Amino acid sequence: AQTVTQSQPEMSVQEAETVTLSCTYDTSESDYYLFWYKQPPSRQMILVIRQEAYKQQNATENRFSVNFQKAAKSFSLKISDSQLGDAAMYFCAYCSNYKLTFGKGTLLTVNP
Amino acid sequence: NAGVTQTPKFRVLKTGQSMTLLCAQDMNHEYMYWYRQDPGMGLRLIHYSVGEGTTAKGEVPDGYNVSRLKKQNFLLGLESAAPSQTSVYFCASNNDLGYEKLFFGSGTQLSVL
């Protein structure tokens, strides 16, 4: 079974600084997709960024970017110029055969 | 544009009671999912459906049943609620085998006493 590991239960960052959230996964598949979802206190699940495993180029979405290392099965999220609104729980997720497996999450605090 | 709607938003049950959570989506999505979220555990897949009339077990299906009689609705049932089923339940849907983003409902907070 696929597993997703987020080794940092909590992280904090100063406003305007950069922070990197770690994620590793275990799979024997060659074709899959990876996601980062954000869950603010409102509980809503919000897609932050998506990466196809067959693409070598790292995905970027404005201040959010990933470092995808397929051989190492690593998928970290970098948040640049952190804002107070970035404070949330962040979940890494792996998708193969239409089933999404989530990590346990990293709680990000942004300090003013 | 409602998206994915879950009802109810909150519910308190006594051990042994039954209830049904309703998920409705208005995006004509083929695939629908039920997850539960527990502190420190992330989201875990309970059951899912790849089309009207189909259901399949996910990671933690025990104690739950589901039905997808209509394409737009996905029901999650608890026949005899247990305190271990206290959780936040999320419904989600999409139209591309999960490879595109999931559209989530706002969640149902269920407490079983």
Q: What is the pLDDT of residues B36-66, one digit of tens each?
A: 999 888 899 999 999 999 999 998 999 999 9
> Which residues in chain B touch residue A88, judged by CB atoms under 8 angstroms apart?
none
Fold (CATH) for A3-111: Immunoglobulin-like (2.60.40)
Partner A contacted by B40 (CB < 8 A): yes
**Residue in A with minimal Cα distance to B91:** A45
Q: Kindly report the backbone phi and psi dihedral angles of residue B7, in degrees, each rounded to the nearest multiple of 5, phi listed first.
A: -135, 140
Of B100 and A11, more confident: A11
Q: Is the dihedral of CA A43, B28, B23, B99 positive or negative?
A: negative
Is residue B98 scored above 70 in pLDDT? Answer: no
Q: What is the predicted pLDDT for the residue at A1?
A: 65
| Pairwise CA distance, residues A81 & A12, whole Å | 13
Is the confidence at residue B86, as pLDDT, over 80?
A: yes
> Which pLDDT value is given to residue B1?
62
Q: Which residue of B has its CA nearest to A91?
A: B42
Q: Which domains does chain B have, with CATH numbers?
A: 4-96 (2.60.40.10)
Instruction: Indicate the burial class of B98 (C-beta count within 10 angstroms; 0-12, 13-18, 19 or more).
Output: buried
Task: Output the CA torsion sign for B42, B94, B59, B47.
Answer: positive
Query: Does A104 contact B101 at a Cβ distance shorter than 8 Å?
Result: no
Which residues of B are less than 8 Å from A43 in CB distance? 88, 106-107
Picking from B43, B58, B67, the residue whose alpha carbon sits closest to that of residue A90 is B43
Across chain B, mean pLDDT equals 93
Q: Nearest by CB to B102, which of A43, A97, A100?
A: A100
- Cα(A52)–Cα(A108) distance, integer angstroms: 25
Nearest to B108 by CA among B87, B92, B93, B85: B87
B87: which residues sit within 8 A by CB, 6+ positions away? B36, B37, B38, B110
Supply the pLDDT for residue A37. Answer: 95
